[in-house]
Structure 1
Amino acid sequence: MKRLQRRARKSRADKTSSAILAIAVIFCGGWISAPSAQAFELFGFRFFEGDKPEVVNEVPDPLPYAATLTVSGGDKDLEKALMETSQLIQQQDTPPSGSPGLISRALGDQQQLIALLYVKGLYGGTVNIDIAGKPLQAAVEAGEVNRRAGTPVPVVIHVMTGPQFHFGTVSIRQLASDGTPAATLDPTNYGLVPGAPALSDKILQAESRIVADLKDQGYPLAKIADRSVIADHASNRLDVTISANPGSAATFGHITVQGQKKTKTDFIIRQAEIEPGSRYDPAILRRAAKRLRDLGIFASVRVIEADRLDSAGNLPITIEVAERKRHVIGGGGTISSVDGIGLEAYWRHRNLFGAGETLSLEGSVGRIVNGDYGDMEYSTQVVFTKPGVFGPTTSFSATVGAKRENPEAYESRAVFGSMKLTNRPTDKLTYAVGTEFEYSRETDVLGPNHYALFGVFGDIAYDSRDNILNPTRGLRATFHAEPAYDAETGGFMAFTKASLSTYWSFNGSDRFVLANRIAGGSILTPSLSDVAPSRRYYVGGGGSVRGYAYRNVGPRVSGEVIGGRSFFETSTEIRTRITESFGAVGFVDAGAAYSSQFPDFSEELKVGVGVGLRYFSPIGPLRLDVAVPLAPDKDDPDFAIYVGLSQAF
């Protein structure tokens, strides 16, 4: 009767509001005292910005002026770039201090604008500035500009662009230790192609890549020894000669750690995995810095190379860290027109024993609907993690907890625990093995039952996405397998699940992205009733088939969803970035859960379609999706609204 009453309440809520709108708020702070928050801007408003005293800097003898800029050639894009670069144009509302201040600003402007012309390959261009009707040089020699009381000083910037230059002869030489040429490098490998527009940035980028390549070959002190750039104004060609000095090949030397307080020095060195005496490789230093940051116990990590080799020809390395506060509390909440209010909180102790360990106490309550606490969901758990148990890429975690789940399909009370070893050998590959147990009392439309599940599982994931929150290229693939035994029902079973998400940018541009996801799973067991309702597969809702109610797609008994032994889901999204801040999405989701051990594709898939809006905030894309189910069933809404952070998948 209680479950029927709850379903009747839900049905009335669906009639009143056919969409479920959830708003999540996350709060993090320090234990006893919190660090200053960093400000960011969202929809034109600034958040987490503390009170700042007003600073008033009065400029002595302010000299107002009015600046204009003229550009030959009619290139509007170039004119816009020059306007944005010119401090005389951009800072007209901030008058300089007297004649010296205006002259100084004009001199700096002249250099910046000429540099911009070089960036565009316009080496014959000129920048002339007139102040109060006289050339800038005359003002420099006089040390004064003509000024009329109450009238801004007129400043006119004349830019003659000149012809576009192209690369002529390009030579890149690698020097020996005595400074003599030892090898010649192919300039086209570094973007310096004879006949191409001679943009100055291409020269600087080529030099950076040359030095990076030499460092990758084991030369930590590589540098550009000389650069010769000759502009031939008769032929509009730019001849370039670059000489690179690799210095001496080296191995890693002594490792020094600075800034640590609670963290053990040998743990930091072990996690960094920089082996003294091994060949110098900057990739090793980058991995070391990332691995230390991923521990979550440091506010900052810097791996610093010495600027010279030691007497043995080794390169000393300094690891500089700043530790985060060791205690943190946090909380969050959700509100739904159907499921009511949900609250969650945690307390976390970082760096428990000085080797990156973390102890977390977590709790949550949910489904607080209209003041009725009888249908609440709750959970509490303790999680301990320890990195570096079998080398720097391996971590251990243990969890124990209790929970009550109360979705529409079933009711469950359970205690659970797990232990897991995770290894991340590369930035893209992660795998884990572990064991878990769960004892539960569960009730669904098939009746009440007790379950005592013991399982051993393995997970593997490959992730090459360019951005976790807003991927535009790459893929993510996961696989989970878990043989298990239920001591209460006496049944053996095996859980399997796999997913693949791919991302493809049209024409290599992030403006249009095609995103696809496919997922499926199977529970190998003779009978569905041997599987606890909470462990069966359900489809529907956000992160699954949008438009349908959460976990409301699957096999039914007496009109009620009971979950399945297999499932299949697929989603396709076309993501368009309209402006720098806003984007739009069109999507189609489809899926079903099946009573059979493997997906039965002869059965109809449930399909949901919709559109979405994205706001690209500093913390990631904010998502608003509206989805419509094409074949709604009992308890499904007419449409659903989803709000969240990051893309849907």
Structure 2
Amino acid sequence: MRLLGIWCILISIQFGLHAQSDSVVKGDAPVTQIVKRYVIHSVDFVIENAPDAGNLPVESEMLASISSQPTEFGLTTKMIRSLAFESLRNKETPTFIRKWLVELYATSAKNKFKYVDKSVLANDILRLNDLFLQKGYHDAKTRCVFTISADERNNILTFYIAPGRLYTVDTIVVKGVDSVALEVKNEIPIITGSSIDKPFNESDVSAGIGKIFTALHDNGYAYSGMGTQRDTTDTTSHRYVVKTPDVYIDTVRKFDSITVYINPGRRYKIGTIIFIDSTNGNPVVSGRTKMDQVEIHTNDWYSKKLLDNTTSNLMNLGTFDRVFIRDTILKRRVDSNFIETDIINLEIFTQYRRAWEFNLNAFYNSTFPDNFNNAGVEASYLHRNIFGAAQNLTAYFRPTLRNTGGFVSNWLDSSISYAWNNKIYEYEFGLTLFQPDFTRLFGNRINISGNLNISQRFILDPFQLFTISPRVNFTMPLNSSFDRVQFDMSIDWQKPSGYSEAVTKTTQGITDSITKATILETLEQYRILDSNSHGNLIPTLVLMSLSYNLDRTDNVFTPTKGYKLSLLGEYSFLDITSFSRIQGMFSSYKSVSSSTVFALKARVGKIYWRNPESSFIPFERHYFAGGASSIRSYASRSLYYRTPDDTVNTTIQGGLDKYIGYSTIIELSAELRYSLGYYPSLGEFVAGQVSKIGFAGFVDLGNAFNRLTAKHYNDASISDIVDPFKWGWGIGVGLRYATPIGPARLDFGFKAYDPMELENHRRSIFNRVFFESYAIQFSIGHAF
């Protein structure tokens, strides 16, 4: 009896056993009586006698237009349901577990079932007919059939739509624009003419009317709108209502004629422009700086577009929390009356942000091109209006522990003291001054920033590198702040110390000549620097770079759709660092469902070394493969192209990866990201935390080629670089937890194909123990 009771509970949940006397609609007539509520498991749409071409709605549009929706469960509810049914089928399952699973399913599935309903279906038919009418199918007829499966677990609601002929727009007449200035009126026929002889589409008509108002609003007609007419439904008042466009349907010729009624109103020019500042005790931005952001001037025709641009420009200064523009029609007194003029005065209200901030923060980040995860502390001071023209001054001090993954590995493999003695760290002090709207080029604003960095960096015990690096950056935003061109000029002065002692310590005890020669070759770049400096601070880099960055995603930290593109070119002028570098990266994002995103990435880079025998390439410009933001099945910097005659001890070779990179890189990645939903049945707090959890499956492939030493710079040919069998192939899964700055992620990567294996038969994962070669990566933010 207890088992039977549990079955009854589960069946009542699944099928919704509630008494009801109602009808299912087929066309306009009832076809069957419902004695219980039936669940809708799926909804289908069938286009009958579909035209060869036209403007038919897609399935997602049709589904969004109706109220009868299919029952959909999230992944968690589906898993619980499967477990609940399986527990009832398996007689060995303890009764208390069966009961617990059924009750858990009941809680999880509560309020998620969708049931068929007669009145709702009748309304859905009207909605679908209206949707097709908006698309130009004015004669559309819709009927529906609800099919109940034998086990009542696959009930299908099907809508059959006969769209009929597609109507075409014959004429569009715009009335009420006779008083519009000729130069503005000439734009309106072009706008309306763009829809003639095309299929009728209500959204296209609305968009065309919107273009008309855009033309009017941007050419002085500040208060233009739709025409009005006397409200005929209320004979007791003189109320006027908006007159909607008339659509005359010719059912014989299948043509539509559209009449749009416009009330342009008066045409206005700009009068006075004043700023009203709410400083909240902060220093005022100079009047000239603020007026430079205003794109409309006295005696210009009113333009909504220019006012919107003005608001955006002022907000981009970074000194205001809020900007609001109020327009007021100027009135003049005539005798005892005030008469409106054709002048609009502007009042620009600004609310200031706090001018200065001091912060002390811990940070964790990933850096390119070395693919290291780093941790540290940053103390910073920020002033947003240091000299009264919205100049932004930032000063910071940042001690950093680099390659935290390597530090933890050394700690676990040996001891904390060993890890600390072999740490990679750096100290950095920086000073940045940013001036927005420094000048103009082809109408675009140019921002300028100056930066001074001073750092002391530990390279190889006891070798250290002291660097002073001033930099000037010019940034030109294009369509938005996420679409920009940058030009940089930078100079590095460096002073090495402890190089000879580091070489002696590193090669001490090594008797193998090949290994020792490899170590010396790897450190050759620092020998060149050390021999040229003679212990002094010398210029080592004069660099010019040009970059382009485009971001068309919907979210900076967690994109679900859109794409990103970045391109970079660099050229160094000094003989001691004679190189040029180009690189590009493209990533794309597509929502597969409300909880799933598919992402792709491609990254390529190439360094051209003009004089390998007597120059070196700064470490920050090297390419490395492997790590949390690269090929995730490999530890940071541990993946590279090995030539067939490369027999150097892999432990020695692996250690050298920290100090020398490669001239060429190629990386391709695909990732499927799934996020759990919000489950109210779990309670507000738990449901909120669960909704932040996500999972990912990924494939990474690529490699780094041509070690930046004179001997190995040209090891790999073009055919080697594009050969997929010389790339590392990684597969893996990951766990995500959403934070305000992107997800905290833990990735488990496995080497599906490992070109680092010298024995060819061991390269495939099928010829190795599955868990023999893997990497665990932790980072903040998506890999791309």
With the shorter chain as reference, the TM-score category is 0.5 to 0.7
**Aligned residue among 438, 445, 450 for 1:393:** 445
- Cα shift at 1:528: 6.3
1:350 to 384, 388, 406: 384
The one-letter amino acid paired with 1:269 is: M
Give the alignment partner of residue 548 of structure 2, picking from 461, 464, 469: 461
Alignment of 1:469-618 (within 5 A): 469=557, 470=559, 472-485=561-574, 491-503=576-588, 505=590, 513=598, 515-527=600-612, 530-531=615-616, 534-540=619-625, 541-554=627-640, 559=653, 560-561=656-657, 562-564=659-661, 566-575=663-672, 584-594=696-706, 595=708, 600-601=717-718, 602=720, 604-612=726-734
Question: Cα distance, 1:253 vs. partner?
Answer: 4.6
Cα offsets for 1:147-196 (capped at 9, x unmatched): xxxxxxxxxxxxxxxx9999999955242255999876877968998776
User: Superposed, which structure 2 residues align to 1:79-98 within 5 Å?
Assistant: 79=67
Greater gyration radius: 2
Are residues 507 and 610 of structure 1, via their aligned partners in 2, closer, same or farther at CA, if it must alter by over 3 Å?
Answer: closer
1:574 Cα deviation after fit: 4.4
Residue 362 (structure 2) aligned to one of 319, 322, 332: 332
Residue 642 of structure 1: CA displacement?
Answer: 3.3
Relative contact order (C-alpha < 8 Å, sep 6+): which is higher? 1
Q: Is the 8 A contact 2:560 2:591 kept in 1?
A: no
Aligned equivalent of 1:211, options 201, 210, 213: 213
| Distance verdict in 2 for CA 1:535–1:238, change over 3 Å | closer
Partner of 1:491, secondary structure, is coil
* Counterpart code for 1:291: N
Kept in 2, the 8 Å contact 1:211–1:224? The answer is: no
| 8 Å contact kept, 2:365–2:373 | yes
Cα deviation, residue 439, structure 1 = 1.1
When structure 1 is superposed on structure 2, of 576-585 and 285-294 the one drifting more is: 576-585
- Give the aligned partner of residue 110 of structure 1: none
Q: Which one of the candidate residues 481, 486, 490 is aligned to 1:431? A: 486
Residues 175, 413 of structure 1: CA spacing in aligned structure 2 closer, same or farther, 3 A cutoff? same
Distance (Å, rounded) in 1 between the aligned partners of 2:586 and 2:299: 42
Amino acid at match of 1:327: W
Render the CA deviation track for 1:44-99: whole Å, top value 9, x for unaligned.
Answer: xxxxxxxxxxxxxxxxxxxxxxxx99998599974469xxxxxxxxxxxxxxxxxx
TM-score by length of 2: 0.53
Cα contact 2:470–2:490 (8 A) shared by 1:
yes
- 1:519-540 CA-to-partner distances (Å, cap 9, x unmatched) read 2131433126632552451313
Structure 1 residue aligned with 2:318: 296
Shift of 1:360: 1.4
Question: Does 2:368 match 1:271?
Answer: no
Given that residues 484 and 549 in structure 2 are in contact (C-alpha distance below 8 angstroms), is that contact kept between their aligned partners in structure 1?
Answer: yes
1:515, 1:574 within 8 Å by CA — same for their partners in 2? Answer: yes
Q: Which amino acid aligns with 2:544?
A: F
Q: Provide the rounded CA distance (Å) in 2 between the counterparts of 1:426 and 1:380.
A: 31
> Does residue 440 in structure 1 map to residue 495 in structure 2?
yes
Deviation at 1:320, TM superposition (A): 2.5
Secondary structure, counterpart of 2:478 in structure 1: coil
Q: Which runs of 5+ in 1 are unaligned?
A: 1-67, 82-114, 124-162
Map of 1:173 onto structure 2 = 174
Q: Is the 8 A contact 1:471 1:503 kept in 2?
A: no
Deviation string, structure 1 residues 367-417 (Cα, Å, up to 9, x no partner): 396377654432222222222222472222222232233468995422222
Q: Which residue of 1 aligns with 2:397?
A: 363
Q: In 2, distance between residues paired with 1:538 and 1:607?
A: 18
- Aligned mates of 1:279, 1:577 — CA distance in 2: 51
1:605-640 alpha-carbon deviations (Å, 9 max, x no partner): 344333445667776566554333443869x97212
Q: In the alignment, which residue of structure 2 is the partner of 1:150?
A: none
Unaligned runs of 5+ in 2: 1-19, 27-39, 44-62, 70-122, 132-161, 229-242, 333-339, 367-371, 408-415, 503-518, 643-647, 678-690, 758-771
1:619, 1:536 → 2: CA distance? 27
Distance 1:230-1:461 versus aligned 2 partners, 3 A rule: closer
1:256 aligns with 2:256: no
Maintained 8 Å contact 1:398/1:417: no
For 1:628, the equivalent position in structure 2 comes to 750
CA distance in 1, matches of 2:21, 2:176: 45
Q: Counterparts of 2:352 and 2:614 in 1: how far apart (Å)?
A: 51
Whole-angstrom CA distance in 2 between matches of 1:547 and 1:640: 8
Q: 1:493 to 1:640 in 2, by over 3 A?
A: same
SS at match of 1:426: strand
Change (3 A) 1:434 1:341: closer
Asked whether the equivalents of residues 255 and 317 of structure 1 are also in contact (C-alpha less than 8 Å), the reply is: yes
Q: Does the Cα contact within 8 Å between 1:483 and 1:494 map onto a contact in 2? A: yes
Identity %: 16
Partners of 1:303 and 1:117 lie apart in 2 by: 46
Q: What is the distance in 1 between the residues matched to 2:618 and 2:181?
A: 76
How far 1:504 moved relative to its partner?
A: 6.4
Q: Distance in 2 between matches of 1:637 and 1:270?
A: 60
Q: CA deviation at 1:358?
A: 1.6
Structure 1 Cα separation of the partners of residues 329 and 24 of structure 2: 47
Q: Which has the higher helix share?
A: 2
Say which is worse superposed, 384-393 or 204-213, in terms of deviation: 204-213
Tell me the CA shift for residue 436 of structure 1: 1.9
User: Would you say the 8 A contact 1:472–1:510 is kept in 2?
Assistant: no
Q: Higher strand share goes to which structure? A: 1
**Is contact 2:747–2:777 with CA below 8 Å preserved after alignment?**
yes
Query: Measured at CA, do residues 350 and 340 of structure 1 come closer, stay the same or move farther in structure 2, by a change above 3 Å?
Result: closer
Contact 2:431 2:453 in 1 (8 A): yes
Indicate whether 1:641 and 2:777 are aligned. Answer: yes
1:223 aligned residue = 225
Aligned counterparts of 1:618 and 1:334: Cα–Cα separation in 2: 14
Residue deviations 1:411-458 (CA, integer Å, cap 9, x gap): 542222223141315132312132322313175744554363131312
SS in 2 for 1:291: helix
Distance 1:294 1:118, change over 3 A: farther
Tell me, what secondary structure is at the counterpart of 1:640? strand
- State the secondary structure of the residue aligned to 1:365: strand
Distance of aligned partners of 1:605 and 1:229 in 2 relative to their CA distance in 1, 3 Å threshold:
closer
Shift of 1:269: 1.6
TM value normalised by structure 1: 0.62
State yes or no: 1:320 paired with 2:349.
yes
C-alpha distance in structure 1 between counterparts of 2:471 and 2:331, whole Å: 46
Letter in 2 for 1:222: S
Aligned-partner Cα distance in 2 for 1:607–1:205: 48
Q: Structure 2 CA distance, aligned partners of 1:69 and 1:360?
A: 72
SS of equivalent residue, structure 1 residue 547:
coil
Query: Hey, what's the Cα distance between the residues in 2 that align with 1:504 and 1:340?
Result: 27
CA contact (8 A) 2:426 2:458 kept: yes
On the 8 A contact 1:495/1:523 being kept in 2, the answer is: yes
Question: Distance between the aligned counterparts of 1:209 and 1:615, measured in 2?
Answer: 44
Counterpart residue type for residue 602 of structure 2: R
508-517 vs 263-272, greater mean Cα deviation: 508-517
Q: Distance in 1 between matches of 2:399 and 2:390?
A: 29
